[in-house]
Amino acid sequence: MGDLWPVEDHNLLGHWKLVPKRSANPFSEGGAAPSENTRIHAAGLAVTRARKQLVSDFSLDLGREVVALLGPNGVGKTTLLEVLAGLTTPTLGVLQFVNESASGGEPYVYAARMRVGYVPQFDEPISGLSVRQSVAYAGWLKGMSGPLLNSATELALTRARCTDFANQASTKLSGGQFRRLLIAQALVHQPEILILDEPTASLDPHEQSELKLLLTEAKASTAIILTTHNLRDLPGLVDRVIVLSGTEPKVFNSVAAFCGLETGGPEPTDAMLQRAYSGAL
């Protein structure tokens, strides 16, 4: 797969800095060096729009893992994802990509375009394009063309299990198929980090489990950060759970820890998950 990727993109490094702030966040020492496999280092992020604080003092070191952001509506989950995706610039804080070289590079918002794949909660297909063309369009937006684009498109279709309906009109898909198309679009440029905003929302149970399986496969090569209200998404997929509740975020290093269970034990039940979530808020 690596040979599909344009050479000049291999070493993209981005960092974006505003006013550095020492974070009081317990799971990230603001300004401290992130761990070796860290891909995004965020410290003391705050987002204010029209005098309203949407996100305050959020820190995260994201490595090769799946992180779930939980919390009630309006707590700033989507805003936070948009910051990490490079769509929104934070008002305060440090946000940077970290890999082999920790200095120099382009601003975060530019680096994020190539290193992050983003699946919004709400989207609509572009009429007139087939599923394959929609994925190719997403790849083209990322700067791909020619044979490279064709290969990347086919690969993304395969990874997102869209090959069966690849030639179908993108406007004629079921909810689950469309969600897979969005994931294929997000994966086409083989991002290091996949960001999903409520990926299983409005899907039926079968579609939810299919999507979860797909993401479980994707996590082998991509760090994932997602938001969800569906607590059943967590077991078997998520490595870390962060609960945003308007005050200080609560971090759990595993789903078991989130549920107060021992690691390696039986999978938590829905009731346990619900109880854990209520307790964390």
Partner 1 sequence: MKIDKRNPALAIILRSRLRFAVLPIALLALFLGQQLFDPGIPTWVNATQAVVQPIAVCGPLLAAFAAWDATDFGRVAARKRMRLSRNGGAAAIASVWLGSASWAVLSFALWATLLLVSQVNNQPWGTITWPWLVSATCALLAQVSAGAVLGYFWPTFLAPAVAAVVLFFINGAVVLIPLLHNQTLLSAAFSQVQQVAFTINLPILWAQALWFTGIAIIGLAIALGSLSAPTKTKINVLLTGTTAAAAGLALIVTSPGGFFEYTHSGWDYVCSKITKICVHPALEKAIPQIDDALEPTLAHIERTNFSASRYEWTNRGLLGEPSSGAIAFHLDSLSPGWKRNLRLELSRDLLTAGSSSGGPCDKVNGDADPGAFAGLKSIIAAWLADAPEAALPNGAQEIGAKSRFDKLSEIDRQSWLFAHTNAICTSTLNSDDF
Examine residue 153 and tell whether it contacts partner 1 (CB under 8 A).
Answer: yes
**Could you tell me the smallest distance in angstroms from the CB atom of residue 266 to partner 1?**
39
Nearer CB in complex with partner 1: 99/151: 151
**Could you tell me the smallest distance in angstroms from the CB atom of residue 275 to partner 1?**
35
Whether residue 225 contacts residue 271, with contact meaning beta carbons closer than 8 Å, is answered with no
Size of the site for partner 1 (CB under 8 A): 33
Closest by Cα among 206, 185, 204 to 196: 185
Distance separating alpha carbons of residues 76 and 180, to the nearest angstrom: 25
Nearer CB in complex with partner 1: 99/150: 150
Examine residue 141 and tell whether it contacts partner 1 (CB under 8 A).
Answer: yes
Radius of gyration of the chain measured on its C-alpha atoms: 18
Burial pattern 234-262, b for ≥16 Cβ within 10 A else e, equals bbebbbbbbbbeeeebbbbebbbebbebe
Examine residue 87 and tell whether it contacts partner 1 (CB under 8 A).
Answer: yes
How far is the CA of 119 from the CAs of 195, 224, 226, 253, 264, in angstroms?
A: 6, 11, 9, 24, 31
Interface of this chain with partner 1, residues 155 to 194, rule: CB under 8 A = 185
Q: Which stretch binds partner 1 (CB under 8 A): 15-23, 32-40, 42-50, 111-119?
A: 111-119
Q: Which stretch binds partner 1 (CB under 8 A): 36-44, 47-55, 131-139, 212-220?
A: 131-139
Distance separating alpha carbons of residues 68 and 37, to the nearest angstrom: 18
| Residues of the shown chain interacting with partner 1 in the complex, contacts defined by CB under 8 A | 82, 85-87, 109, 112-114, 116, 118, 120, 122-124, 126-129, 132-133, 136-143, 145, 149-150, 153, 185
